[in-house]
Structure 1
Amino acid sequence: MTAHVIADEAEALTVAAALAAEFRAEAGRRDAERRLPLRELDRLSASGLLAVTVPAEHGGADVSALTLAEIFRLLASADSSIAQIPQSHFVYVNVIRRQGTPEQRKFFFAELLAGRRFGNAQSEAGTRHVQDIRTRLTARPDGSYVLDGVKHYSTGTLFADWIPVLARTEDEALHVAYVPRDAPGVTVVDDWDGLGQRTTASGTVRLDAVSVPADRVLPHHLTFEGPQLHGAVAELLHAAIDAGIAGAALAEAAEFVRTKSRPWFESGVETAAEDPLLIQRFGELALDTRASEALLREAARAVDAAQAHLTDDSAAEASIAVAAAKVGAARAAVEVASALFEVSGTRSARNALNLHRYWRDARTHTLHDPARWKIQHIGRYVLNGTRPPRHGLL
């Protein structure tokens, strides 16, 4: 595969907007038919967007968190499944940036610039909680490893070239093994059947005695031993997806009311768009959407500021700002996607229109991790100055 190399942030945003317009056209049909977006992901790879966080010294644009968040918001406004697929991709690019050796960085950054895609194999079912990782990396005498385990919710792995796998070594230290999608012993099962985000292919990965060279394993446990933005960047991208869904649902509702809705007979107006009660409701929904976008930008700027001067305090500020953005965007996405039917009327509930995909996508994506715990951390920080914990979900 060959890929364009994006030069700077302005080009990255231009490319993202163009791809969003392209992906929007068939988004509803892809969802209705559960048509997996392989062609669209190939376009995404070829565009160069998947390499925009490669450091400049390795030939990448090294875009800011502000630009990366906007790229995700634009893509999600067109098709939130397509936007979610590369979320883990960028998370595991960050692991390489922080924990990779010079040789590992050189190799993987070249892969990214060539358009290669990272999937993910993180979550496991049947364990005590999301941080209870039981997949094992067993060391061999020659320094290589054997990888065994089963992963679920492996978004994007069906389409990936490389699968970053969270696993523990014999001393329980957390590592990431980067495994080729077609490596012997790797099985990717397309068994995702969620009510929303239907084309993310968030299925199962089985790892049966997979051989992993030593230079494909990174010490992820070191990420959390000092100030870090791993979780903040990951959650920022999730917030951007939710903000994109909210904006798309609001635009869809406005278009429907302008072109297809009838006015309520008591309103005394000629068109639904002139109904003062509908106007009021659209104003409320617009406030929710604009607030989610503003919180997203504020959080991204906080991440950029912390990356420039990383300390315990700056990392905490960034994590709290991202937590606020994620809560705000999740609320907006669910509320606006639900209100789409409230303002559009009975006709909008026709299954053939598939307008419910916005609510299904919002409701599914916002389940990724609970907003209630983010609010707890925000409250503790504001009231008592308690810094948020160092983990990959905040």
Structure 2
Amino acid sequence: MTAKVITDDVEALSVAAALAEEFRVGAPERDAERRLPGPELDRLSASGLLAVTVPAAHGGADVRQETLAEIFRLLASADASLAQIPQSHFVYVNVIRRQGTDEQKEFFFGEVLAGRRFGNAQSEAGTRHVQDIRTRLKPRPDGSYVLTGVKQYATGALFAHWIPVLARAEDDNLQVAYVPRDAEGVTVVDDWDGMGQRTTASGTVRLDAVHVPADRVLPHHLTFQGPQLHGAVAQLLHAAIDTGIAGGALAEAVEFVRAKSRPWFESGAETAAEDPLLIQRFGELALQVRASEALLRDAARTVDAARADLTDNSAAEASIAVASAKVQAAQAAVEVASSLFEVSGTRSALDSLGLHRHWRDARTHTLHDPSRWKIQHIGRYVLNGTRPPRHGLL
């Protein structure tokens, strides 16, 4: 596989904008038919976008987090399922950046620059909570490992070249094992049945005594032993996806009302776009989208500032800024995607139009982790100066 090498932030945003417009065209049909976006992901790989966070020392553009968030916002405004698939890719590129040895960085950053994709195998069903990881890495006499477990909600795994797997070693410390998608003992099952994000193929990964060389395992538990931005970066991308959904839904509502809606007879307006009550509602929805976009930019800039000077305080500021953006974006995505029908009228509910995909995507994606806990951490920080905890969901 060959991929273009993007050199800077400006080029990255230009490529992302062009791809978003390309992906927008087929998004309703892919959703309606649950047609998995293999060709589109190959286009994404070839574009070089998947390598934009590779450090400059290893040949990458090392773009700002503000740029990365905007890339995800653009893609999600076109197709939220497609935008969700590479979210874990960037998270696990970040793990290599922080915890990889020089040799691991050289190898895996080379893979990323060549266009190869990381999936994920993180979550497990039937455990006590999301942090309860039962998948195990058992050492072998030669220093390698045997990996065994079952993972759910494995977005990106079906399309991946490498599947990063969260697992616990014998000492119960959390590790990430980078496993080839086609390794013996790896089975990826396309059993995702979500009402939204239908083409993410977020199904099951089964790991049956998979052999893992020692140099394919990274000590993820060390990530959380000091100031870190792992969770902030991961959540920033989720916030960008929600913000993109809200913006995409508003844009479709505007287009529909201008072209296809009729004014309510009591308004006295000649067109739906001149109806004063619709104008009022569009103003309210636009404020939600603008607030989400502004908080997303602010959060990304705060993460960038923390990357430049990482301390307990700067990491806390970044986590709180991202949490604020995520809460606002989640609320906006659900409200705007639902209100699309309110402002567009009865015809907009036709299944053949596919406008409901925005609401289904919003409602599904915003369930990823609860906003109520983010609000708790924001309140504790503002009122008592309590720094948020160090984990990957904040």
Mapping of 1:199-348 within 5 angstroms?
A: 199-348=199-348
Counterpart position of 1:159: 159
Given the two structures, how large is their TM-score scaled by the length of structure 2? 1.00
Given the two structures, how large is their TM-score scaled by the length of structure 1? 1.00
The CA distance in 2 between the partners of 1:259 and 1:75, in whole Å, is: 24
Report Cα offsets for 1:210-267 as digits up to 9, x if no partner. 0000000000000000000000000000000000000000000011100100000000
Deviation of the 1:11 alpha carbon: 0.2
Report Cα offsets for 1:118-166 as digits up to 9, x if no partner. 0000000000000000000001111100000000000010000000000
Counterpart position of 2:31: 31
Report Cα offsets for 1:59-106 as digits up to 9, x if no partner. 000000000000000000110111000000000000000000000000
Q: How large is the Cα RMSD of the aligned pairs?
A: 0.3
Q: Give 3-state SS (helix, strand or coil) of 1:246's partner.
A: helix
The CA distance in 1 between the partners of 2:272 and 2:8, in whole Å, is: 44
Q: Give 3-state SS (helix, strand or coil) of 1:124's partner.
A: coil
The CA distance in 1 between the partners of 2:175 and 2:379, in whole Å, is: 32
The CA distance in 2 between the partners of 1:244 and 1:341, in whole Å, is: 18
Deviation of the 1:197 alpha carbon: 0.2
Deviation of the 1:348 alpha carbon: 0.5
The CA distance in 2 between the partners of 1:346 and 1:182, in whole Å, is: 48
Mapping of 1:61-76 within 5 angstroms?
A: 61-76=61-76
Counterpart position of 1:147: 147
Report Cα offsets for 1:341-383 as digits up to 9, x if no partner. 0000011111111110000000000000000000000000000
Counterpart position of 1:13: 13
Relative to structure 2, which stretch is displaced further, 345-354 or 203-212?
345-354
Counterpart position of 1:54: 54
The aligned amino acid for 2:236 is L
Counterpart position of 2:124: 124
The CA distance in 2 between the partners of 1:187 and 1:262, in whole Å, is: 52
Counterpart position of 2:94: 94
The CA distance in 1 between the partners of 2:263 and 2:8, in whole Å, is: 48
The aligned amino acid for 2:54 is V
The CA distance in 2 between the partners of 1:268 and 1:177, in whole Å, is: 65
The CA distance in 2 between the partners of 1:366 and 1:121, in whole Å, is: 20
The aligned amino acid for 2:189 is V
The aligned amino acid for 2:95 is V
The CA distance in 1 between the partners of 2:77 and 2:171, in whole Å, is: 43
The aligned amino acid for 1:170 is E
The aligned amino acid for 2:377 is H
The aligned amino acid for 1:383 is L
The CA distance in 2 between the partners of 1:346 and 1:21, in whole Å, is: 27
Q: Give 3-state SS (helix, strand or coil) of 1:195's partner.
A: coil
The aligned amino acid for 2:103 is E
Q: Give 3-state SS (helix, strand or coil) of 2:152's partner.
A: strand
Deviation of the 1:391 alpha carbon: 0.2
Counterpart position of 1:184: 184
The CA distance in 1 between the partners of 2:97 and 2:270, in whole Å, is: 59
- What residue ranges of structure 1 are gaps of 5+ in the alignment? none
The aligned amino acid for 1:39 is P
Deviation of the 1:289 alpha carbon: 0.3
The aligned amino acid for 1:193 is D
The CA distance in 2 between the partners of 1:144 and 1:74, in whole Å, is: 41
Counterpart position of 2:115: 115
Counterpart position of 2:3: 3
The CA distance in 2 between the partners of 1:189 and 1:225, in whole Å, is: 34
The CA distance in 2 between the partners of 1:351 and 1:202, in whole Å, is: 24
The CA distance in 2 between the partners of 1:240 and 1:332, in whole Å, is: 12
Q: Give 3-state SS (helix, strand or coil) of 2:146's partner.
A: strand
Q: How many residues align?
A: 394
The CA distance in 2 between the partners of 1:184 and 1:40, in whole Å, is: 27
The CA distance in 1 between the partners of 2:89 and 2:257, in whole Å, is: 38
The CA distance in 1 between the partners of 2:156 and 2:117, in whole Å, is: 9
The CA distance in 1 between the partners of 2:190 and 2:145, in whole Å, is: 26
Deviation of the 1:32 alpha carbon: 0.2
Q: Give 3-state SS (helix, strand or coil) of 2:208's partner.
A: strand
The CA distance in 2 between the partners of 1:141 and 1:94, in whole Å, is: 30
Counterpart position of 1:194: 194
The aligned amino acid for 2:309 is H
The CA distance in 2 between the partners of 1:158 and 1:303, in whole Å, is: 30
The CA distance in 2 between the partners of 1:192 and 1:166, in whole Å, is: 20
- What residue ranges of structure 2 are gaps of 5+ in the alignment? none
Q: Given the alignment of the two structures, is residue 41 of structure 1 paired with residue 45 of structure 2, yes or no?
A: no
The CA distance in 2 between the partners of 1:351 and 1:218, in whole Å, is: 46
Counterpart position of 1:358: 358
